[in-house]
Structure 1
Amino acid sequence: MDPNLQLWRAEGRSFLQRFRLWADVLDPLLLVASSEEIRRSRLFIQSNGKTLSEPIHNNQMKQAFLLSLSSVHPDTNNVIPVLFRPPAFLPISLPLVIVSSLQLQARNAFFCQFVFHTYTTGFTLINGNGSKKAEEYSVQQKQVFYGLGAIAYAACIGAIPIFFMNRYTLKSPLTQLVIRKLLPAPLLGLMCAFTVAVVRSPEFENGIEVMDKNGKVVGVSQKAGEKAVKETALSRAALFGTAFFLPEVFMYFLRRANFVKTPRALASVRMMMITSVLTGMLPVSLSMFPQCGEIKRADLEPEILSCTEETELFYNRGI
């Protein structure tokens, strides 16, 4: 089992443990590390041969693991491109979320959401499960085609409220509230989950590798792949749906209270709210489910049941 998955299994069993670990892994300063530093960190971890049965107290080992968790794919052992590493997700997605939340023309809204979904879909593809079976089809033209189709569809759906507001005169305050303020959040969350499911569909179509507690691969499971994709899609929907919804609720009550009167000040407060919610929700959403996923033996395919007597098996959930 890869050291990254070993660490997640040892120190990421509870939500609070995962949250604290993700809060450290998402440090943007980890992005400045060179490929040589990452390679040395991996060698340091492997040379120490730590079983990770106990929490890490050595600061040098902890820093090496943080660099490994933030930069290396646990299935392929490849260094992840800088723009698609977990610490880069917030700095890149935040301005895209802010721009996508603006009440723009439908054409501009479509473009902004297209760029947003392009980045998040690329992030999902690169950080998904990359076991040996998955590598065989991860770059197939069909998967790229599906991804582009999902991006275009998600951008169109996201621009629908703007299209209706611009094309039709909506006189009812309730209708304006629903279309302008309430509808975009669930739409964005739903489309983020949709793109995750589409781009990682080969994982539940062809299966992903499952391992025993010693890290030995015992088979390839479609059910484990389905579970991994479902959990990732739910966490992504929670992240961006909340990042759209909570600021709008806060701004609604702020306008009702008449605390901030000028449009420029309202825009600044709204931007700060989106930044705060997205920053707080990112480690929360990533911590919703274990990174080293667990699946009961009874839930697996019959051909895997005959290969092991382990009651629980493990897999890389992906991000």
Structure 2
Amino acid sequence: MDEAERLSVLEQYGILDTPHEEPFERIAALARLIFDTPIVLISLLDDRRQWFKTNIGLDVRETPREQAFCNETIRSDDVLVIQDAVHDIRTARNPLVTGTPHIRFYAGAPLVTPEKARLGSFCVIDREPRPFDDRQKAILQSLASLVMKEMELRRQTDQDWLTGAASRSAFQANFARLIGHKQPPSIGLISFDIDHFKRINDRFGHLAGDRVLIGVVDVCRTVLRDGDVISRLGGEEFAVVLPGATADSTLAIAERLRLAIEASRHPDIEGPVTASFGVTMLQGNEQGLSDALRRADEALYQSKASGRNRISCSWAPPVTKLTGSKITGT
């Protein structure tokens, strides 16, 4: 599995930048008790950073990826042990070793998904060198497996734990049921991202960002029809499936969603919230979601490149029907 595929799997879990959660905190606390280490981390690697779902003994939630011991851990399915980071060529000059938190000992078990993607590590860290035997390695791997089971539960539940939107798995299952009919309906698909969401988190905090996500889903539900399904695919990315929709009605619903989000107010932040959209239609010979979602995502990226807070579609837009709207074709 290449890095792009690994990052795609990580995104499906929708776990990055989420608050601490009790199941993960309990597993980390157990590891601290078993191994008697001051630091226990659940570390996940995206394209630019290592982010900590749990960070017992450490004050930060993320560090630059180039500093991550986890980069070595995800190279194999085995536990990585560095008994003394000061004297290990891979880590001796690492800022986390030469400076705060002054890591000397590290043991990390990779977090491996059913697809065999290594998303990060469950690791224990000390500020003093120490040995780590095979029995301890086996215990650490077992605890890492518990972490992955909790992550799978989050991914597989029907509802997104935060917003109440459909989960990715529920969204895919609903889509499969629709196209499984003898005469499947015409199906529209909308993909959208909240614009500059990272800035919201950075400026107003993740709790405010979470409330924005909840508010956006609530606003969208006031626009959508019975039978339409909105899903949170991960982070600030959403998708909407529209059974029985035409190209015109799909575009019209996307525009109503855009305007409703732009008009919504969120007391925890300053300024408006907007979103960028991509829309497409399921083609008659398609048997799955992936190609349609790819087209919708490509249209979404075009909206972002064109200035955000707009809609792009994978066909020539009926501009005469939506005069004044921010719509482009792709």
TM range (shorter): 0.3 to 0.5
TM-score (normalised: structure 1)? 0.34
TM-score (normalised: structure 2)? 0.34
Q: Which structure carries more relative contact order (alpha carbon 8 Å, separation 6+)?
A: 1
Q: Which has the higher strand share?
A: 2
